[in-house]
Amino acid sequence: MGDNVFVISAAMIPFGKYRTSSYVGLAVSPLIDAIRNAGIEKSDVDAVYVGHSYGGMMTGQRICKEIGLGTVPTVNVDNACSSGATAVHEAWQAISQGLIDVAVVIGVEKLTQFGGGTLPLSPEDREVKQGIIMPAVYAMRATRYLHDTEATPEDLALVSVKARKHGALNPFAQFRKEITVEEVLNARPIADPLTLPMCCPTGDGAAVVILASERARKRFESKPAIRVAASVLHSGHVAEGFRDMTKPEITYDSARDAYALAGIGPKDLDMIELHDAFSIAELIYYEALGLAEPGHAVDLLRDGKTTFGGDVVVNPSGGLLAKGHPVGASGVAQIAEAFWQLTDQAGARQIDDARWAMTHVTGGGTAGLDHGACTIHIFEAA
Protein backbone atom coordinates (compact mmCIF):
# COMPACT_ATOMS: atom_id res chain seq x y z
CA MET A 1 0.00 0.00 0.00
CA GLY A 2 1.05 3.56 -0.70
CA ASP A 3 1.18 6.76 1.30
CA ASN A 4 -1.77 8.02 3.31
CA VAL A 5 -4.08 10.35 1.40
CA PHE A 6 -6.43 12.89 2.98
CA VAL A 7 -9.41 14.90 1.84
CA ILE A 8 -8.63 18.38 3.17
CA SER A 9 -11.49 20.40 1.72
CA ALA A 10 -14.92 20.15 0.09
CA ALA A 11 -17.37 22.56 -1.48
CA MET A 12 -20.43 22.26 -3.69
CA ILE A 13 -23.41 24.17 -5.00
CA PRO A 14 -26.90 23.01 -4.02
CA PHE A 15 -28.00 20.57 -6.73
CA GLY A 16 -30.83 22.02 -8.82
CA LYS A 17 -31.81 23.38 -12.18
CA TYR A 18 -29.56 26.22 -13.25
CA ARG A 19 -30.60 26.94 -16.82
CA THR A 20 -28.50 30.10 -17.03
CA SER A 21 -25.25 28.47 -15.86
CA SER A 22 -22.71 26.71 -18.06
CA TYR A 23 -20.36 23.95 -16.86
CA VAL A 24 -17.97 26.78 -16.01
CA GLY A 25 -20.67 28.72 -14.22
CA LEU A 26 -21.63 25.70 -12.15
CA ALA A 27 -18.10 24.75 -11.10
CA VAL A 28 -16.11 27.93 -10.56
CA SER A 29 -17.64 28.94 -7.19
CA PRO A 30 -17.13 25.59 -5.45
CA LEU A 31 -13.65 25.44 -6.99
CA ILE A 32 -12.69 28.77 -5.42
CA ASP A 33 -14.40 27.88 -2.12
CA ALA A 34 -12.65 24.51 -1.90
CA ILE A 35 -9.24 26.11 -2.46
CA ARG A 36 -9.96 28.84 0.13
CA ASN A 37 -11.38 26.35 2.68
CA ALA A 38 -8.26 24.22 2.33
CA GLY A 39 -6.09 27.22 3.08
CA ILE A 40 -3.96 26.54 0.02
CA GLU A 41 -2.82 28.68 -2.89
CA LYS A 42 -3.39 27.90 -6.56
CA SER A 43 0.32 27.27 -6.79
CA ASP A 44 0.02 24.39 -4.31
CA VAL A 45 -2.09 22.37 -6.76
CA ASP A 46 -0.15 19.63 -8.57
CA ALA A 47 -2.94 18.18 -10.72
CA VAL A 48 -6.63 18.58 -11.52
CA TYR A 49 -9.04 15.70 -12.19
CA VAL A 50 -12.47 16.48 -13.59
CA GLY A 51 -15.39 14.05 -13.70
CA HIS A 52 -18.18 14.78 -16.18
CA SER A 53 -20.11 12.86 -18.83
CA TYR A 54 -21.79 15.43 -21.04
CA GLY A 55 -19.54 18.49 -20.73
CA GLY A 56 -17.80 18.17 -24.07
CA MET A 57 -14.15 18.70 -24.90
CA MET A 58 -11.80 20.20 -22.31
CA THR A 59 -14.45 20.75 -19.67
CA GLY A 60 -11.83 20.82 -16.91
CA GLN A 61 -9.58 23.26 -18.71
CA ARG A 62 -12.53 25.55 -19.47
CA ILE A 63 -13.34 25.69 -15.76
CA CYS A 64 -9.79 26.03 -14.47
CA LYS A 65 -8.74 28.80 -16.85
CA GLU A 66 -11.38 31.05 -15.29
CA ILE A 67 -9.33 31.16 -12.11
CA GLY A 68 -5.95 31.01 -13.81
CA LEU A 69 -5.28 27.46 -12.65
CA GLY A 70 -3.26 25.99 -15.47
CA THR A 71 0.07 24.42 -16.40
CA VAL A 72 -0.43 21.40 -14.14
CA PRO A 73 -1.92 18.21 -15.65
CA THR A 74 -5.69 18.41 -16.06
CA VAL A 75 -7.42 15.08 -16.71
CA ASN A 76 -11.02 14.82 -17.87
CA VAL A 77 -12.69 11.60 -16.73
CA ASP A 78 -15.89 10.06 -18.12
CA ASN A 79 -17.25 6.98 -16.37
CA ALA A 80 -20.95 7.84 -16.52
CA CYS A 81 -22.42 8.25 -13.00
CA SER A 82 -19.10 7.10 -11.61
CA SER A 83 -17.15 9.88 -13.36
CA GLY A 84 -16.63 12.08 -10.30
CA ALA A 85 -15.67 9.22 -7.99
CA THR A 86 -13.37 7.82 -10.68
CA ALA A 87 -11.67 11.23 -10.83
CA VAL A 88 -11.15 11.02 -7.06
CA HIS A 89 -9.77 7.50 -7.46
CA GLU A 90 -7.25 8.75 -10.03
CA ALA A 91 -6.19 11.59 -7.72
CA TRP A 92 -5.87 9.15 -4.82
CA GLN A 93 -3.69 6.84 -6.92
CA ALA A 94 -1.32 9.62 -7.92
CA ILE A 95 -0.93 10.87 -4.35
CA SER A 96 -0.69 7.46 -2.70
CA GLN A 97 2.06 6.51 -5.14
CA GLY A 98 3.95 9.64 -4.12
CA LEU A 99 3.80 11.20 -7.59
CA ILE A 100 2.08 14.38 -6.43
CA ASP A 101 1.04 16.04 -3.17
CA VAL A 102 -2.12 18.07 -3.83
CA ALA A 103 -4.93 17.32 -6.29
CA VAL A 104 -8.12 19.23 -6.98
CA VAL A 105 -11.06 17.05 -8.04
CA ILE A 106 -14.07 18.62 -9.74
CA GLY A 107 -17.31 16.78 -10.45
CA VAL A 108 -19.70 18.71 -12.64
CA GLU A 109 -22.75 18.09 -14.83
CA LYS A 110 -25.43 20.16 -16.51
CA LEU A 111 -28.38 17.90 -17.30
CA THR A 112 -30.83 20.75 -17.93
CA GLN A 113 -29.11 21.06 -21.31
CA PHE A 114 -31.22 18.06 -22.40
CA GLY A 115 -34.55 19.68 -21.52
CA GLY A 116 -35.79 16.89 -19.23
CA GLY A 117 -36.54 13.20 -19.64
CA THR A 118 -34.28 10.24 -19.08
CA LEU A 119 -30.50 10.32 -19.49
CA PRO A 120 -29.23 10.09 -23.06
CA LEU A 121 -27.41 6.76 -23.46
CA SER A 122 -24.99 5.70 -26.18
CA PRO A 123 -26.87 5.05 -29.44
CA GLU A 124 -24.18 2.48 -30.30
CA ASP A 125 -25.39 0.16 -27.53
CA ARG A 126 -27.47 -2.84 -28.65
CA GLU A 127 -30.10 -2.50 -25.92
CA VAL A 128 -30.27 1.28 -26.25
CA LYS A 129 -31.29 0.71 -29.88
CA GLN A 130 -34.03 -1.57 -28.54
CA GLY A 131 -35.32 1.20 -26.31
CA ILE A 132 -33.74 0.55 -22.93
CA ILE A 133 -33.64 3.50 -20.53
CA MET A 134 -32.12 3.58 -17.05
CA PRO A 135 -35.49 3.61 -15.21
CA ALA A 136 -36.42 0.40 -17.08
CA VAL A 137 -33.20 -1.33 -15.99
CA TYR A 138 -33.90 -0.56 -12.34
CA ALA A 139 -37.60 -1.33 -12.78
CA MET A 140 -36.73 -4.83 -13.99
CA ARG A 141 -34.43 -5.19 -11.00
CA ALA A 142 -37.35 -4.16 -8.80
CA THR A 143 -39.82 -6.55 -10.46
CA ARG A 144 -37.44 -9.43 -9.91
CA TYR A 145 -36.57 -8.39 -6.35
CA LEU A 146 -40.26 -8.14 -5.39
CA HIS A 147 -40.80 -11.57 -7.00
CA ASP A 148 -37.89 -13.20 -5.16
CA THR A 149 -38.29 -11.66 -1.68
CA GLU A 150 -40.88 -10.49 0.83
CA ALA A 151 -40.37 -6.87 -0.25
CA THR A 152 -43.39 -4.90 -1.45
CA PRO A 153 -44.00 -1.70 -3.42
CA GLU A 154 -44.53 -0.02 -0.02
CA ASP A 155 -40.89 -0.81 0.80
CA LEU A 156 -39.79 0.83 -2.44
CA ALA A 157 -41.82 3.86 -1.41
CA LEU A 158 -40.31 3.82 2.08
CA VAL A 159 -36.84 4.30 0.58
CA SER A 160 -38.05 7.50 -1.09
CA VAL A 161 -39.75 8.64 2.12
CA LYS A 162 -36.49 8.23 4.03
CA ALA A 163 -34.52 10.02 1.32
CA ARG A 164 -36.89 12.99 1.31
CA LYS A 165 -36.82 13.12 5.12
CA HIS A 166 -33.04 13.33 5.08
CA GLY A 167 -33.09 15.77 2.16
CA ALA A 168 -35.38 18.09 4.10
CA LEU A 169 -32.43 18.64 6.48
CA ASN A 170 -29.91 19.27 3.70
CA PRO A 171 -29.57 22.73 2.14
CA PHE A 172 -27.71 21.11 -0.79
CA ALA A 173 -30.69 18.88 -1.75
CA GLN A 174 -33.00 19.61 -4.67
CA PHE A 175 -36.09 18.24 -2.88
CA ARG A 176 -36.49 19.62 0.64
CA LYS A 177 -40.05 18.54 1.46
CA GLU A 178 -41.05 15.31 3.17
CA ILE A 179 -43.34 12.89 1.34
CA THR A 180 -45.59 10.02 2.45
CA VAL A 181 -45.71 6.39 1.33
CA GLU A 182 -49.18 7.02 -0.15
CA GLU A 183 -47.96 10.02 -2.11
CA VAL A 184 -45.07 7.99 -3.52
CA LEU A 185 -47.28 5.03 -4.52
CA ASN A 186 -49.95 7.26 -6.08
CA ALA A 187 -47.50 9.36 -8.06
CA ARG A 188 -47.07 9.15 -11.82
CA PRO A 189 -45.79 5.75 -12.94
CA ILE A 190 -42.43 5.86 -14.75
CA ALA A 191 -41.55 2.21 -15.29
CA ASP A 192 -43.55 -0.32 -13.24
CA PRO A 193 -43.23 -0.71 -10.28
CA LEU A 194 -41.32 2.58 -10.04
CA THR A 195 -43.18 5.86 -9.66
CA LEU A 196 -41.73 9.33 -10.11
CA PRO A 197 -40.52 9.86 -6.50
CA MET A 198 -38.76 6.47 -6.68
CA CYS A 199 -36.54 7.91 -9.43
CA CYS A 200 -33.80 10.46 -8.83
CA PRO A 201 -34.43 13.84 -10.40
CA THR A 202 -32.10 15.14 -13.05
CA GLY A 203 -30.51 18.51 -12.51
CA ASP A 204 -27.28 20.42 -12.52
CA GLY A 205 -24.51 20.32 -9.99
CA ALA A 206 -20.87 20.82 -9.17
CA ALA A 207 -18.80 19.60 -6.26
CA VAL A 208 -15.10 19.95 -5.52
CA VAL A 209 -12.82 18.12 -3.09
CA ILE A 210 -9.12 18.59 -2.52
CA LEU A 211 -6.88 15.63 -1.76
CA ALA A 212 -3.46 15.88 -0.18
CA SER A 213 -0.60 13.69 0.91
CA GLU A 214 0.32 13.40 4.59
CA ARG A 215 3.34 15.60 3.92
CA ALA A 216 1.26 18.32 2.27
CA ARG A 217 -1.47 18.08 4.88
CA LYS A 218 1.06 18.92 7.57
CA ARG A 219 1.75 22.15 5.71
CA PHE A 220 -1.95 23.08 6.03
CA GLU A 221 -2.54 21.31 9.33
CA SER A 222 -4.85 23.83 10.96
CA LYS A 223 -7.64 22.60 8.67
CA PRO A 224 -9.95 19.59 9.23
CA ALA A 225 -9.22 16.46 7.19
CA ILE A 226 -10.37 12.87 6.69
CA ARG A 227 -8.22 9.92 5.65
CA VAL A 228 -8.95 7.90 2.51
CA ALA A 229 -8.96 4.37 3.91
CA ALA A 230 -9.89 2.71 0.62
CA SER A 231 -10.45 3.70 -2.99
CA VAL A 232 -11.65 0.98 -5.35
CA LEU A 233 -12.74 1.06 -8.97
CA HIS A 234 -14.18 -1.92 -10.85
CA SER A 235 -15.59 -2.34 -14.33
CA GLY A 236 -18.52 -4.52 -15.26
CA HIS A 237 -18.02 -7.99 -16.71
CA VAL A 238 -20.09 -9.23 -19.61
CA ALA A 239 -22.71 -11.97 -19.22
CA GLU A 240 -24.15 -13.25 -22.51
CA GLY A 241 -26.78 -15.20 -20.60
CA PHE A 242 -28.26 -15.30 -17.13
CA ARG A 243 -27.45 -12.55 -14.66
CA ASP A 244 -29.14 -12.18 -11.27
CA MET A 245 -30.15 -8.52 -11.38
CA THR A 246 -30.77 -8.50 -7.62
CA LYS A 247 -27.12 -9.36 -6.88
CA PRO A 248 -25.03 -6.77 -8.71
CA GLU A 249 -21.63 -8.40 -8.81
CA ILE A 250 -19.76 -5.18 -9.55
CA THR A 251 -20.83 -3.72 -6.19
CA TYR A 252 -20.27 -6.97 -4.27
CA ASP A 253 -16.72 -7.17 -5.68
CA SER A 254 -15.92 -3.51 -5.08
CA ALA A 255 -17.22 -3.64 -1.50
CA ARG A 256 -15.18 -6.75 -0.72
CA ASP A 257 -12.02 -5.04 -1.96
CA ALA A 258 -12.79 -1.77 -0.18
CA TYR A 259 -13.37 -3.46 3.19
CA ALA A 260 -10.13 -5.40 2.77
CA LEU A 261 -8.17 -2.23 1.96
CA ALA A 262 -9.65 -0.29 4.88
CA GLY A 263 -9.37 -3.19 7.31
CA ILE A 264 -12.93 -2.72 8.55
CA GLY A 265 -16.31 -4.36 7.99
CA PRO A 266 -19.83 -3.11 7.33
CA LYS A 267 -20.64 -2.95 11.06
CA ASP A 268 -17.92 -0.33 11.57
CA LEU A 269 -19.52 2.18 9.21
CA ASP A 270 -21.34 5.17 10.68
CA MET A 271 -22.65 6.44 7.36
CA ILE A 272 -22.93 5.45 3.72
CA GLU A 273 -23.73 7.55 0.70
CA LEU A 274 -24.82 4.91 -1.81
CA HIS A 275 -26.03 5.08 -5.39
CA ASP A 276 -29.81 5.32 -4.88
CA ALA A 277 -30.57 6.42 -8.43
CA PHE A 278 -33.84 4.50 -8.06
CA SER A 279 -35.36 3.33 -4.77
CA ILE A 280 -34.83 -0.39 -5.50
CA ALA A 281 -31.10 0.25 -5.71
CA GLU A 282 -30.87 1.13 -2.03
CA LEU A 283 -32.36 -2.22 -0.96
CA ILE A 284 -30.15 -4.22 -3.30
CA TYR A 285 -27.07 -2.31 -2.20
CA TYR A 286 -27.74 -2.91 1.53
CA GLU A 287 -27.14 -6.53 0.64
CA ALA A 288 -24.24 -5.97 -1.76
CA LEU A 289 -22.44 -3.79 0.82
CA GLY A 290 -22.87 -6.45 3.50
CA LEU A 291 -25.39 -4.65 5.72
CA ALA A 292 -28.01 -7.39 5.27
CA GLU A 293 -28.22 -10.96 4.03
CA PRO A 294 -29.55 -11.35 0.46
CA GLY A 295 -33.33 -10.90 0.49
CA HIS A 296 -33.41 -9.21 3.89
CA ALA A 297 -32.69 -5.55 3.15
CA VAL A 298 -36.23 -4.51 3.97
CA ASP A 299 -35.80 -5.53 7.62
CA LEU A 300 -33.17 -2.79 8.04
CA LEU A 301 -35.32 -0.25 6.28
CA ARG A 302 -38.56 -1.03 8.14
CA ASP A 303 -36.77 -1.09 11.51
CA GLY A 304 -35.20 2.31 10.93
CA LYS A 305 -31.66 0.93 11.17
CA THR A 306 -30.48 3.03 8.22
CA THR A 307 -31.72 6.45 9.29
CA PHE A 308 -30.65 8.86 12.03
CA GLY A 309 -30.45 7.02 15.34
CA GLY A 310 -29.97 3.66 13.59
CA ASP A 311 -26.90 1.45 13.14
CA VAL A 312 -25.63 3.20 10.02
CA VAL A 313 -27.16 6.28 8.41
CA VAL A 314 -27.58 5.58 4.72
CA ASN A 315 -27.69 8.68 2.53
CA PRO A 316 -27.80 11.32 5.28
CA SER A 317 -27.70 13.91 2.47
CA GLY A 318 -30.97 12.60 1.07
CA GLY A 319 -29.05 10.68 -1.55
CA LEU A 320 -29.63 10.99 -5.24
CA LEU A 321 -33.39 10.58 -4.70
CA ALA A 322 -33.65 13.87 -2.80
CA LYS A 323 -30.48 15.64 -3.79
CA GLY A 324 -30.64 14.99 -7.53
CA HIS A 325 -28.20 13.22 -9.79
CA PRO A 326 -26.07 15.40 -12.06
CA VAL A 327 -24.13 12.33 -13.03
CA GLY A 328 -20.52 13.54 -13.19
CA ALA A 329 -20.92 15.55 -9.98
CA SER A 330 -22.68 12.94 -7.83
CA GLY A 331 -19.65 10.90 -6.76
CA VAL A 332 -17.73 13.99 -5.64
CA ALA A 333 -20.80 15.32 -3.81
CA GLN A 334 -21.05 12.05 -1.87
CA ILE A 335 -17.45 12.51 -0.76
CA ALA A 336 -18.17 16.13 0.22
CA GLU A 337 -20.97 14.77 2.44
CA ALA A 338 -18.60 12.24 4.02
CA PHE A 339 -16.06 15.03 4.60
CA TRP A 340 -18.62 17.26 6.30
CA GLN A 341 -20.06 14.42 8.41
CA LEU A 342 -16.65 13.18 9.61
CA THR A 343 -15.46 16.74 10.37
CA ASP A 344 -18.66 17.83 12.18
CA GLN A 345 -19.78 20.33 9.56
CA ALA A 346 -23.07 18.70 8.55
CA GLY A 347 -25.39 21.01 10.49
CA ALA A 348 -28.94 19.76 11.08
CA ARG A 349 -28.14 16.37 9.52
CA GLN A 350 -24.95 15.77 11.54
CA ILE A 351 -24.48 12.13 12.60
CA ASP A 352 -23.21 11.96 16.21
CA ASP A 353 -19.60 10.81 16.59
CA ALA A 354 -19.27 9.69 12.99
CA ARG A 355 -15.88 8.08 12.40
CA TRP A 356 -16.18 5.81 9.34
CA ALA A 357 -17.92 6.67 6.07
CA MET A 358 -18.42 4.87 2.78
CA THR A 359 -19.36 6.34 -0.60
CA HIS A 360 -20.57 4.10 -3.42
CA VAL A 361 -21.45 5.03 -6.97
CA THR A 362 -22.02 2.86 -10.01
CA GLY A 363 -22.30 4.05 -13.56
CA GLY A 364 -23.54 3.26 -16.96
CA GLY A 365 -26.18 1.21 -18.69
CA THR A 366 -24.47 -1.07 -21.17
CA ALA A 367 -25.87 -4.24 -22.71
CA GLY A 368 -24.49 -7.37 -21.04
CA LEU A 369 -23.04 -5.56 -18.01
CA ASP A 370 -24.47 -5.12 -14.54
CA HIS A 371 -23.02 -1.60 -14.65
CA GLY A 372 -20.14 -0.09 -16.56
CA ALA A 373 -18.26 1.11 -13.49
CA CYS A 374 -18.42 1.04 -9.71
CA THR A 375 -16.36 3.20 -7.37
CA ILE A 376 -16.29 2.72 -3.60
CA HIS A 377 -14.41 4.88 -1.10
CA ILE A 378 -14.04 4.43 2.64
CA PHE A 379 -13.01 7.36 4.83
CA GLU A 380 -11.87 7.65 8.44
CA ALA A 381 -12.10 10.75 10.60
CA ALA A 382 -8.54 12.05 10.98
Residue type, 250: I
123-162 footprint of another protein as x/- string (CB under 8 A): ---xx-xxxxx-xx--xxxxxx--xx--------------
Report angle CA 10, 210, 348 to the nearest 5 degrees.
Answer: 15
Choice between 61 and 118, CB closer to another protein: 118
* Residue among 240, 309, 348, 352 that touches another protein (CB under 8 A): 240
Active site residue 374: no
In whole angstroms, the minimum distance from the beta carbon of 196 to another protein comes to 9
- Could you tell me which residues are beta bridge partners of residue 361? 375
- Got the DSSP string for 127-138? HHHTT--HHHHH
What is the distance of C-alpha 27 from the center of its chain?
A: 17
89 binds another protein (CB under 8 A): no
40 binds another protein (CB under 8 A): no
Choice between 144 and 227, CB closer to another protein: 144
The C-alpha atoms of residue 23 and residue 3 are separated, in whole angstroms, by 33
Please work out the total of residues on this chain that contact another protein, with binding judged by CB under 8 A. Answer: 35
Choice between 58 and 367, CB closer to another protein: 367
293-332 footprint of another protein as x/- string (CB under 8 A): ----------------------------------------
- Checking phi first, is residue 318 left (phi over 0); if not, alpha (psi -120 to 50) or beta? left
368 binds another protein (CB under 8 A): yes
Choice between 40 and 142, CB closer to another protein: 142
Write the CB contacts of 9 (distance below 8 Å, at least 6 apart in sequence). 34, 35, 37, 38, 40, 208, 209, 210, 223, 339
Residue type, 165: K
242 binds another protein (CB under 8 A): yes
Write out the binding residues for another protein, residues 176-195 only, by CB under 8 A. 188-194
The C-alpha atoms of residue 6 and residue 377 are separated, in whole angstroms, by 12
How far is the CA of 162 from the CAs of 16, 135, 149, 197, 340, in angstroms? 20, 20, 21, 11, 20
Choice between 203 and 316, CB closer to another protein: 203
The site for another protein (CB under 8 A) is made up of: 117-118, 126-127, 129-133, 135-136, 139-144, 147-148, 188-194, 238-243, 245, 367-368
Catalytic residue numbers read 81
